[in-house]
Amino acid sequence: MVEVKRDFVEMSHGRTRYFEAGEGEPVLLVHGAGFLSGGDGWLPVLPGLGERFHVYALDCLNFGPGDHLEQEFSFAYLVDHLREFQDVMGLESSHLVGHSMGGWLGVLLAYESPNRVRRFVDIAGGGAATRNLTTMVAWQPPPEEDVRAAVERYAGSNISSDVLLEERLAMLHDEQTTAAFRRLMDHMTNPETRTRYNTLRRLPHISSPTLVVWGSEDKVNALELGEQTAQLIPDAKLVVYEGIGHNVPYEAPARLVETITEFLA
């Protein structure tokens, strides 16, 4: 099995945690929104993708156990955080695979900096709809049992689940961390934010070859949004996983590895 490494990198705001595996063309994996989301959410697919590619799965800005940006927030910071991560890793460009919020950020990055995105895989991406998700409005920290269940679900490879659980519990019980995440959720659920950073007007300008992957039973971002996304991005291909919901990397990891590998290779 390909070794998965966990590390931190210094960036302009402080430390960012990331996971790394494999050798070959660089692939940046960008996770979805949620207090329990982060680079560790890609652990089910990291070893498989690492068989063919040099894969990086980072924690987005103000997610995960790294340092937080302590100021008024903006989607622009989230997108620039991806560019800066490429910079500090010495990547002029990379393939980009984004799930949910990660798909949203991937669209914004590919729109703003097409030279940074070689090929783009949008998995159940957000950004096309202006409605808010109820789990993000007036966000409150989850109960500890939810944290433990999430770590048990995502832990894998050679990464110790004890380390991941310790990180998550420390975040849960740190008031500064939960306050920073609440500010982020408040920004993302602001109607003006969701209109300003909506992807619909940007999708027709995406020049990176794009694959759109969606679960037929997605209750977060309905399949209609995936169909619309694929129709608006020039020459994009849509792949639908029957019987799969929103969390494709967890629900169908082996199939997703095969789909991504075939497209990127």
Q: Which of 77, 85, 79, 99 is nearest to 33 (CA)?
A: 99
> In the predicted model, what is the mean pLDDT of residues 228-250?
97
What's the pLDDT tens digit per position in 85-94?
A: 999 999 999 9
What is the pLDDT at residue 135?
62
What is the pLDDT at residue 131?
67
Tell the residue number behind the tokens 């960008």, with chain if given: 30
Fold of 4-264: Rossmann fold (3.40.50)
pTM: 0.95
* HSE of 101, CA atoms in CB hemisphere, 13 A: 25
What's the pLDDT tens digit per position in 193-237?
A: 889 999 999 999 999 999 999 999 999 999 999 999 999 999 999
Domain ranges of the chain: 4-264
What's the pLDDT tens digit per position in 54-72?
A: 999 999 999 999 998 887 7
